[in-house]
């Protein structure tokens, strides 16, 4: 009751402040970190939070566990145990994702080998971390992300179905829907596949869905990466990252209703400039004759302006296996002389030559040379309507912000596992936005976006989905120290236990979780961030300050 009264009073105060011309400023401050000490082994990836126990659950791929952290004091996160998913079965691999709702912890666990069907395991959030699971449910091959519906009555897992390295085994991508509204013991599991679209392969390709794996059907080629359940709890949007598309799913009927191509970002447009070279020793954000594939990783759904909208982080991803690879650099392909009369100039290392592109797109007339160039990822934050139509994109703003930042311009487009790294990711996917969550603060909607390479969190006010406003960029990384404690004879950082230098702080943000103030142990909004390279889980305090306009 006390928190409810405070919420009403705070909301009234915020409304009055806005009415009298008071501006808002969002700040993000790191206040506490749990450091695993493990370098570059995914010791802190996806994160989730249980408000009742004030515990954070963190996927630790290094130990094949879910670490359990006590954050009742958010300035001093403490590990109190770990859920060992290996106890469930000997034929299982690592945990890939975790979600918490209503006191239940859902963990997505891949099989060993991961081309076999995985499982979803449920635990009691309040139990001893080594307690036995409450239930296990079958999933598809490589369950890569799991989430709860807003009411906690449905669990959704997306099963990526990646091929093995020689591409001799390519399982179908799929979606697992677990209905627990009648209780765990009466749960209903629905496995949703894409076989109904197999006879639409040509039409989907013509529409812009990337279906290109060797000999693959539509069902085998589609690889679900992440999902967002809409606020209505009935519909969900699933990211098909490599395919540059969305799948629209009805959870009630257990059907994929549509597959929506995301289109391409035209980097020739002024607002969509990029820096494509890591060999020019400079920040050079310019326009080039290249298309960017949005290929989002993280996605979040939120409601604003009377509608449902989707926020995505355009990370980009390629298929690069021993049995098949689509990766190539612009300098190593033949450019069509009519489409690219200045090919020699473009293919120089300091121009487009170093940029990684796909060989699966671009030869529009099948004559062996490239008429168009397609790069991985959009290097941006994007907003879509519930049907998958683009509403807004941040263009070149992520790179522009870092390039102009007094503290981070000298580390522009750095990688995440070394601090001597200026501009060395420009030829790939730039800052590489990966994870995204949306949180509401005093009636405003804010998107928090993690940048996988240089690191840090970008914050945008997305209340108006057609005119988002950049708020702040915070990077809890120290570039002045070595990122690891020990290097080998060749000078490369050694990975594993004890190798992460705690002084370097956060490297490689992967998963994010927003905690509203009314669920927070400090009564202030918090943001949890799991960092896969440094193996750290950091708690940020989110503050909304008011000042006179």
Given this model, what pLDDT does residue 88 score?
Answer: 86
Given this model, what pLDDT does residue 548 score?
Answer: 56
Mean pLDDT computed over 90-102: 93
DSSP run (H or E) holding 257? strand 255-261
Residue 442 lies in a domain: yes
pLDDT band at 129 (very low <50, low <70, confident <90, very high): confident
Given this model, what pLDDT does residue 263 score?
Answer: 98
Residue 354 lies in a domain: no
CB atoms under 10 Å from CB of 3, counted, come to: 12
Given this model, what pLDDT does residue 4 score?
Answer: 47
The percentage of residues in the chain with a pLDDT greater than 70, rounded to a whole number, is 95
> According to the 3-state scheme, what is the secondary structure of 463-524?
CCCCCCEEEEEECCECCCCCCECCECCCCCECCECCCECHHHECCCEEEEEEECHHHCCCCC
Burial (CB count <10 Å: 0-12, 13-18, 19+), residue 130: exposed
Residue 383 lies in a domain: yes
Residue 527 lies in a domain: yes
Given this model, what pLDDT does residue 130 score?
Answer: 78
The string of pLDDT tens digits covering residues 309-352 is: 999 999 999 999 999 999 999 999 999 999 999 999 999 999 99
Total of domains in the chain:
1
pTM, full prediction: 0.95
pLDDT band at 5 (very low <50, low <70, confident <90, very high): very low
Given this model, what pLDDT does residue 544 score?
Answer: 87
Given this model, what pLDDT does residue 3 score?
Answer: 53
CATH at residue 498: 2.130.10.10
pLDDT band at 14 (very low <50, low <70, confident <90, very high): very low
pLDDT band at 259 (very low <50, low <70, confident <90, very high): very high
Which residues, in sequence order, are bridge partners of residue 248? 237, 258
Print the domain residue range for 244.
26-317+376-546
Residue 345 lies in a domain: no
The string of pLDDT tens digits covering residues 30-60 is: 999 999 999 999 999 999 999 999 999 999 9
The rounded distance, in Å, linking the Cα atoms of 357 and 277 is: 13
Mean pLDDT computed over 285-289: 98
Mean pLDDT computed over 441-465: 97
Residue 337 lies in a domain: no
Residue 355 lies in a domain: no
Residue 252 lies in a domain: yes
Q: Residue 300 above 90 pLDDT?
A: yes
């Amino acid at each position: 009751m006390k928190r409810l009264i405070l919420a009403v009073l705070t909301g009234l105060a915020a409304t009055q402040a806005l009415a009298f011309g008071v501006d808002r400023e969002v700040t993000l401050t790191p206040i506490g970190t749990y450091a695993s000490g493990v370098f570059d082994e995914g010791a802190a990836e996806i994160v989730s939070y249980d408000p009742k126990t004030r515990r954070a659950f963190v996927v630790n791929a290094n130990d094949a566990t879910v670490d359990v952290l006590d954050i009742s004091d958010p300035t001093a996160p403490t590990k109190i145990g770990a859920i060992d998913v290996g106890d469930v079965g000997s034929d299982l691999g690592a945990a890939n994702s975790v979600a918490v709702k209503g006191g239940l912890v859902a963990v997505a666990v891949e099989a060993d080998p991961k081309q076999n069907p995985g499982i979803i395991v449920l635990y009691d959030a309040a139990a001893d971390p080594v307690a036995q699971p409450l239930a296990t449910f079958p999933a598809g091959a490589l369950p890569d992300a799991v989430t709860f519906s807003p009411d906690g009555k449905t669990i959704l897992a997306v099963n990526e179905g990646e091929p093995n390295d020689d591409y001799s085994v390519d399982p179908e991508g799929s979606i697992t829907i677990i209905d627990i509204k009648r209780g765990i013991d009466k749960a209903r599991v629905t496995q949703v596949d894409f076989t109904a679209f197999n006879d639409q392969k040509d039409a989907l390709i013509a529409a812009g869905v990337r279906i290109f794996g060797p000999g693959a059907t539509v069902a085998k080629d589609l690889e679900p990466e992440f999902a967002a359940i809409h606020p209505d709890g009935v519909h969900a949007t699933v990211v098909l990252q490599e395919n540059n598309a969305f799948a629209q799913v009805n959870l009630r009927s257990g059907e994929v209703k549509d597959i929506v191509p995301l289109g391409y970002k035209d980097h020739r447009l002024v607002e969509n400039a990029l820096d494509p070279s890591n060999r020019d020793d400079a920040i050079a954000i310019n326009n080039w004759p290249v298309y960017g594939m949005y290929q989002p990783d993280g996605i979040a759904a939120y409601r604003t302006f009377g509608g449902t909208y989707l926020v995505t982080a355009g990370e980009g991803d390629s298929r690069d296996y021993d049995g098949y690879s689509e990766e190539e650099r612009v300098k190593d392909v033949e450019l069509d002389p009519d489409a690219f009369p200045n090919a020699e100039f473009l293919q120089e290392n300091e121009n487009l030559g170093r940029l990684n592109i796909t060989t699966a797109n671009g030869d529009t007339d099948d004559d062996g040379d490239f008429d168009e160039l397609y790069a991985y990822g959009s290097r941006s934050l994007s907003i879509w309507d519930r049907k998958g139509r683009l509403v807004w994109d941040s263009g070149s703003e992520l790179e522009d912000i870092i390039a102009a930042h007094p503290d981070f311009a000298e580390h522009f487009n750095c990688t995440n596992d070394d601090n001597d790294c200026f501009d060395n990711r420009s030829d790939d996917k730039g800052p590489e936005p990966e994870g995204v969550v949306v949180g509401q603060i005093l009636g405003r909607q804010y998107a928090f976006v993690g940048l996988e390479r240089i690191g840090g969190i970008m914050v945008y006010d997305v209340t108006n989905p057609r005119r988002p406003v950049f708020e702040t960029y915070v990077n809890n990384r120290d570039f002045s120290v070595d990122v690891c404690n020990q290097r080998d004879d060749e000078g490369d950082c050694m990975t594993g236990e004890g190798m992460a230098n705690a002084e370097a702080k956060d490297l490689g943000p992967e998963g994010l979780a927003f905690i509203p103030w009314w669920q927070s142990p400090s009564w202030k909004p918090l943001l949890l961030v799991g960092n896969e390279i440094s193996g750290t889980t950091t708690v940020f305090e989110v503050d909304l300050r008011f000042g006179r306009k």
